Structure 1
Amino acid sequence: MIVSCSKKQDKILPEAKNLVESVYSSVTIQPDGLYEVFAIVSGILDKNLKTEGDLISINEPLIKIINNAPILNTQNAKLALELAENNYSGSAAILEGIQNEINTAILKYKNDSINFFRQQNLWNQQIGSKTDYDTKKLNYQLSFNNLSLLQNKYNNTKNALETALKQAQNNYQTSLINTKDFTITSKVNGKVYALYKEPGEIVTIQEPLASIGSSTSFIIELLVDEVDIVRISKNQEVIITLEAYNGEVFTGNISKIYPKKDERNQTFKVEAVFDNPPKVLYPGLSGEANIIIAKKDHVLTIPKEYLMEGNKVKTDDGIIGISTGLQNMEYVEVLSGITKNTYIYKAKND
């Protein structure tokens, strides 16, 4: 019993090792350029022109929607455009009627002008009555004012008709675009990964209809804890394992860091790309990754379980403080405080 109670505590010497410090992250595989397809008009889904798994080219039709209201709006817009064109330059042109009035007013103005200046010459010679002079002067002024009003009316009407014509043209073009929006096309060359609606279902602008992304290029989505994100930078090496490829290790590097934190899980999204991707990948494949923060060769290390209070170790000379450097899940680098010849003891568990 005495021998058992006096059993020596575990003691070791520090060892020189190659040390790698990394940050752990969960992994999800997603196609590059993956996006959800939305309609910009509401209606009824008439037909899915592709099935899930089909390849699709940019601008190739994907989904057709039915809605009669925009078609009727287009017809009404076309009728309004024809009316505006006819009012402006057609056989029933409003401007032509005003121009005829102006031509008549010009003739009357010339006639009243001749009569007035003739009567004025006579009056200057004190020939004729004051009443005749005043009457012809009034007729002359009225003719002038009427001609000016008609000319202003012509210009204002012309501007109004031009504006109405342009508005009708714009409305018609807009209505044509709206009818084209009932056939939804792909924005990328890729693959149809999901279709969320079946023919006959109601389509709204708030709900996604499909999911499309690259068929050949995949990205690695990583969720990094907020306490580690400040140590992550672009081009850092990433070691990846996927559940679908049990035991196989892949490498990649950080390509993008999203600056906004997800408040729901207190993580930041980071993207990486494979150096040599697996031959077969599917959206949503999961796994784990270690982002390499730093590497050092042949450094003095001790097991983490021999540390006390974060930066102290128990030696033959008592408890000593040490300076630490890199660390991983098992080992920590010793910068100063002990040497490779210093025995350290495993801390007792109370």
Structure 2
Amino acid sequence: MRNLFCINFLFLFISCGSQQEKILPTKKHLTESVYASVTVQPDSLYQAYAPVGGILDLNLLEEGDLVMKGTPIVQIVNNTPKINSDNARLALELAKANYNGSSAVLSSLKDEIQSATLSFKNDSMNYFRQKRLWDQNIGSKVQFENRKLAYEISGNNLKQLKNKYVQTKNELSTQVKQALNNYTTSQISNQDFTLKSKINGKVYALYKNPGEIVSTMEPLAAVGSASDFIIELLIDEVDIVKLNLGQKALITLDAYGDEVFEAKVSKIYPKKDERSQTFKAEATFDNPPKALYPGLAGEGNIIISEKESALTIPKEFLIDGNKVMTHNGMVEVVIGLRNMDSVEILDGINESTEILKPEE
């Protein structure tokens, strides 16, 4: 009875095992890649801001127009800078007049210096005349000391006036320079009523209509390259360490269906976007599509490594990341490359090892 039970159990095990899906490892070309979401943007794309606030008077171009560097894009109306420019010009003229001496500022100081010079000369002659008499014991000591005191006071007064003149002249010179700088700045602001392109390219967007209020905090236009486009790639943080410049990328765009475009990684940004928890990279097309537009979306696979004749099994046959089930039981294997479907087996089994699919 016991032998019969064992035979039945063995038959049941073999019958169940024969129904379990099994495969043999196969050798094939294996590619490991990193997935990325894709957005196409013009190269050198930037938002153009108004340097002054005001009212949009006129859009000088239309969306899609080509521009050269320095081409006017929009015209802004603002009277404040013109008034400031006029005030700065008046301040400059006044500062120049004060400095050049045509006003009373330096002229009065010169007159005071001339008067002080005459007083000093007179007090000097009186003092030295009295000193000679005093040296000969002629005259009183009080007269001598009075002459000496008058001489010293007039000398100090003359010295102070000369220092004041030099100081005032330096201050007026500085005021002229400051007024000139203010006037120059106001002239630049006056010219900033027209927003101009910083690059040769294309106008991709105009955000304001004539008559709308313009501030320096809102963009007025988007300008970028007309012919060169870049591919923006968003990479998961677990995959970013696998990327290197120059790696090949296979790009598909929603607008072009299943058509695959080859590209190369050209830039890797080091900072993670905390909101999306992704890193950003850029790639350039080897042969771009005929027509590209800002914002075209798609998917990309960045090739990390490739290998010919790699011994592989489907991913679903792998257990706990590094084990497979065989007729001889669980076997630990060494994993190499992997992609979405297959993994490379470096050691543990060979082409003749029959692998059983784990039961769900």
Same fold (TM > 0.5): yes
Q: Could you tell me how far apart the structure 1 residues matched to 2:276 and 2:128 are?
A: 95
- State how 1:219-230 maps to structure 2 within 5 Å: 219-230=230-241
Unaligned runs of 5+ in 1: none
Structure 1 outlier segments of 4+, above 4 Å:
2-7
Q: Could you tell me how far apart the structure 1 residues matched to 2:154 and 2:273 are?
A: 79
Q: Could you tell me how far apart the structure 2 residues matched to 1:66 and 1:58 are?
A: 22
Residue matched to 2:246: 235
**SS of the residue aligned with 1:260?**
coil
The root-mean-square deviation of aligned C-alpha atoms, in Å, is 1.8
Percent of pairs identical after alignment?
58
- State how 1:331-346 maps to structure 2 within 5 Å: 331-346=342-357
1:157 and 2:168 equivalent?
yes
Contact 2:101 2:107 in 1 (8 A): no
Q: Deviations over 1:297-341 (max 9, x none)?
A: 011111112222222222121221111111111111111111101
**SS of the residue aligned with 1:244?**
helix
Residues 130, 337 of structure 1: CA spacing in aligned structure 2 closer, same or farther, 3 A cutoff? closer
Q: Which moved more, 1:86-95 or 1:335-344?
A: 86-95
Residue matched to 1:52: 63
| Count of residue correspondences | 348
- Note the C-alpha offset of 1:4: 9.2
Q: Deviations over 1:230-270 (max 9, x none)?
A: 11111110001111112211101111111111122211111
> Which one-letter code corresponds to 2:319 in the other structure?
M
- Note the C-alpha offset of 1:275: 0.7
Q: 1:299 aligns with which of 302, 310, 332?
A: 310
Q: 1:290 aligns with which of 282, 287, 301?
A: 301
Contact 1:254 1:271 in 2 (8 A): yes
**SS of the residue aligned with 2:69?**
coil
> Which one-letter code corresponds to 1:309 in the other structure?
D
Q: Could you tell me how far apart the structure 1 residues matched to 2:140 and 2:258 are?
A: 123
1:218 and 2:229 equivalent?
yes
Residue matched to 2:157: 146
**SS of the residue aligned with 2:271?**
strand
Q: Deviations over 1:276-296 (max 9, x none)?
A: 111110001111110001100
Unaligned runs of 5+ in 2: 1-11
What TM-score results when the alignment is normalised by the length of structure 1? 0.95
Q: Which moved more, 1:119-128 or 1:161-170?
A: 119-128
Q: Could you tell me how far apart the structure 1 residues matched to 2:16 and 2:135 are?
A: 148
- Note the C-alpha offset of 1:5: 7.0
Q: Could you tell me how far apart the structure 1 residues matched to 2:275 and 2:161 are?
A: 71
Q: Which moved more, 1:218-227 or 1:114-123?
A: 114-123
Q: Could you tell me how far apart the structure 1 residues matched to 2:134 and 2:173 are?
A: 48
Contact 1:238 1:290 in 2 (8 A): yes
> Which one-letter code corresponds to 1:173 in the other structure?
T
- State how 1:171-250 maps to structure 2 within 5 Å: 171-250=182-261
> Which one-letter code corresponds to 2:265 in the other structure?
I
